[in-house]
Chain A
Amino acid sequence: MNVLLRIIVKEFLQLRQDRKIIPVLVIGPLVQLLALGFAANTDVKNVPLLLIDQDRTRESRELADRFVASGYFRLAGAAETVRQIDPWLVRGDAQIALVIGAGFGKTVNASRSGARELMPRVQVIADGSDANSAVVGMGYASSIISGFGAERLQARLVRQVEQAQPTGLTRLEPVPRPGPVPSIELVPRVFYNPDLKSRWFYLPAILALVLMLTTMILPSMAVVREKEIGTLEQLSVTPVRPWQLIAGKLFPFAIIGFVDLILVSLLVVWVFGVPLRGSFALLACLTMLFLANTLGLGLLVSTLVRTQQQAMMTSVFVLMVPMIYLSGLIFPIENMPGPIQHATRAIPLRYYNDIIRGIFLRGSGIAVLWPDAVALAAFGALFVSLASFRFRKTLD
């Protein structure tokens, strides 16, 4: 145990000697969190809108007003014809164009069925080169338009139903009229994130990013560095046992990971107002299981490569990037093709992601999260033993 302690102390000394690394380890995650915290937001607001109103009636103006009043769109300009749209979109001065065809106002209100051939025409043209915003923007646009249309239709239909009711009949009792027409009302209740802020979704995920950076990528580089300099060989001829060497090397990074956990959680809760509904103690315990995964993988990478650059590239691109994309951290797993959905089960971050979101947003306890915890523990054990096995071999 004494030996282990000494190695840990040596590692810390080494970290301290490298003067610039400590600020980098702490400031790096902070800058990332702040920048990402404010940037990570797929809510689309203020989409610049080009209006082409070929109708110029009260109705067409009202529809255009609804776009602006929704807060999702900002009127960037107006044009006469569809042909004029292209330069606006190319320059990026507008991202979406709303074309209201001539006759819109006349047809949208027509209660007589004679005007049926003329349908109110509305076209929305979006700049698809930014597909993300385009999808969201077009979604808003279509809900505004169909809302508008449904309202007009409703009004029209209600008028007709009322007209169709026999008027001359005497009623024995007055019919109660809470609404003259039957309708279904959808009452949505959103749990865990009532305002549907996408920031609440992304921010806890940054915790996982920061932890992977400090406890997977940096340790893999640190071990390879000793390999490069040759001090690993020197250590291997001392009476220090391999497991002590491994534990001593990884321990400081685990500590840094924990400091980052606390820092990030504080910021996420206090600066960004994301609720921490579950228990922080549980989060800390389960984070330990995740750290076993990241540290194990980091060490495993270090046994497979020769230079720090390789270590960085491998842990970033072979491990971190696919893990981020396939864990549900950003892209929901149920949107992926079937076989890939199954493949995501092999990604430890998937379970940690469930845990983070469960504890932060849903306030889940171990009763709900235990399957994730078991999976994390299993993967952690696997990676640590694999890494230790390979590490021992490199030493021999």
Chain B
Amino acid sequence: MRKVLAVALKEMRQASRDPLTLALLLGIPAAMLLLYGYALNFDVRHVALAVQDRDGSAGSRELIASFTNSTYFDRAADLPAGSDLDGVLERRLARAVLVIPENYARDLDEGRRARVQLLLDGADANTATTVLGTSSAVVADANTAILRKALPDQQLRTSRVIDYEPRAWYNPELKSTQFLVPGLIGFILMLTSVLSTALSVVREKERGTMEQLRVTSLRPAELILGKTLPYLGIALVAMGIILLVARALFAVQVRGPLLDLFATTLLYLFGALGFGLLISSFADSQAIAFQVGSVFATLPAIFLSGFIFPIRSMPRLLQWLTYAFPTRYFLVILRGIILKGASLAPYRRDLLFLTIYAGVIFGLAWFRLTRKAD
């Protein structure tokens, strides 16, 4: 145990001589949280809307006003009749063009159907979908208003259609910082433990210092533990920073038991550290270790974990593939503990998978590294 500590101390000293990396490892999570908290969101507002009003009547102006008053649209341009509508979209002067035909007001007055065109730039499909939904809602409201005006029944004029009440539990304002915290923890832990461990071992290989360590009286197991423990520590500190920043700036609190959170994190970290060691056992250069680590550890932690892209929307094959990466299970548990205030009890299955993953990967890495050393 003393030898393990000695190696760990050496590793720590080495890490502290590289304050840039350390600062990045610890500072990145906070920076990403700030970025998400203040700069990024999925709410679509202020969509640039160009208007071509060929009717120019009070009625058409009213429809335009109901678009701009919805706060989703900013009136970006007024296009004269006959202007190049496609060009407006292609040059991205506007996301959408509302075209109101001649006779719009007359058609409505005479009880006919007036057709209004909406040209949409679909290149950003997400925004376009929202814009489409919002515009349909605006037009539906306008339709209801028109109908009500035609009604004799005073009471019906003011009635609402359905008392519809949408609610989001656990994150009522649907803030992205809330859901980001678990995902970010999963990603940062993966990054620090897999890449840092792999690179630090491979670096010693590249420089030949690994050989020097091998001829000392250290047993391989002691060497492995000594090399991984400091990164375990750094990863835990990074996680602590995320939780503190999230709490201080975005009021995200851990609602479930901290002990369960800690235990799950340790389990996840063991798997990740094991994966880093496994990479280092066959990679000869840091460039390879980095590429393998990012393809099989950090990228899946972002893209195949349900962090950003919902797993249910993936093709079947890819959904199965997500079971091979631990972040999937980890995120389910983290979201439960941090946001829903649950304990580990509902997540036995995910916990079991995490345990199996950690056991298999760490075992493999252990096997390869200890055998190689002899």
Contacts and interface: CB of A to CB of B under 8 A. Distances in A.
Given A42-B309, A91-B346, A122-B162, A182 B125 contact: no
A171 to B, nearest CB: 14
B374 interface: no
B116 interface: yes
Contacts of A354: 92
A125 B314 contact: no
Interface in B117-150: 117-130, 132-133, 135-137, 139-140, 142-144, 146-148, 150
Given A190-B120, A335-B42, A116 B167 contact: no
A361 B25 CA distance: 38
Given A145-B162, A184-B143, A362 B123 contact: yes
Q: Interface residues of B: mostly helix, strand, loop or mixed?
A: helix
Interface string B100-126: 000000011111111111111111111
Contacts of A18: 284-285, 287-288
B65 interface: no
Interface in A57-93: 85-87, 89-92
B113 A309 contact: no
A312 B346 contact: no
A44 B310 contact: yes
B366 to A, nearest CB: 23
B162 A181 contact: no
B163 A182 contact: no
A385 interface: no
B162 A131 contact: no
B18 A127 contact: no
B140 A146 contact: yes
Interface string B146-189: 11101111011001111111111111101110110010000000
B28 interface: yes
B227 interface: no
B54 interface: no
A314 B24 contact: yes
A273 interface: no
B318 interface: yes
Contact of A124 (B143, B167, B310): B167
Contacts of B126: 42, 198, 201, 332
Interface stretch (B260-268, B291-299, B354-362): B291-299
A196 B167 CA distance: 27
Interface in A127-161: 127-135, 138-139, 141-143, 145-150, 152-154, 156-158, 160-161
A266 interface: no
Given A46-B312, A335-B41, A126 B166 contact: yes
Given A132-B310, A178-B113, A193-B128, A126 B169 contact: yes
A73 B312 CA distance: 11
A353 B252 CA distance: 33
Given A150-B144, A191-B120, A142 B164 contact: yes
Contacts of B309: 39-42
A180 B325 CA distance: 59
Given A139-B130, A335-B43, A184 B312 contact: no
A186 B116 contact: yes
Given A191-B89, A309-B21, A317 B28 contact: yes
B148 A157 contact: yes
Contacts of A322: 35
Given A184-B142, A337-B39, A39 B303 contact: yes
A197 B125 CA distance: 6
Nearest to B36: A325
A357 interface: yes
A28 B148 CA distance: 61
Contacts of A154: 143-144, 147
A149 B313 contact: no
Contacts of B86: 191
A325 B314 contact: no
A325 B347 CA distance: 32
A183 B285 CA distance: 69
B340 A184 contact: no
Contacts of A174: none
B111 to A, nearest CB: 5
A132 B127 contact: no
Contacts of A44: 310, 312-313
B40 to A, nearest CB: 5
A128 B341 CA distance: 13
B295 A28 contact: yes
B304 interface: yes
B48 interface: yes
A384 to B, nearest CB: 22
Given A143-B133, A182-B109, A128 B171 contact: yes
Nearest to A214: B291
A305 interface: yes
Contacts of B13: none
A55 B343 CA distance: 34
Contact of B162 (A108, A161, A309, A330): A108
Given A41-B314, A129-B171, A150-B144, A87 B346 contact: yes
Contacts of A108: 162
Interface in B44-97: 44-48, 63, 86, 89-92, 95
A25 B28 CA distance: 26
B122 A190 contact: yes
Given A18-B285, A312-B195, A340-B39, A184 B116 contact: yes
7 contacts: A20-B288, A39-B304, A91-B346, A125-B167, A126-B167, A128-B179, A135-B174
> 5 closest pairs, A vs B, by CB?
A128-B171, A128-B168, A193-B122, A149-B161, A149-B162
Given A198-B126, A312-B195, 10 more contacts: A24-B291, A35-B321, A45-B312, A122-B163, A131-B171, A132-B179, A146-B140, A154-B144, A156-B156, A181-B111
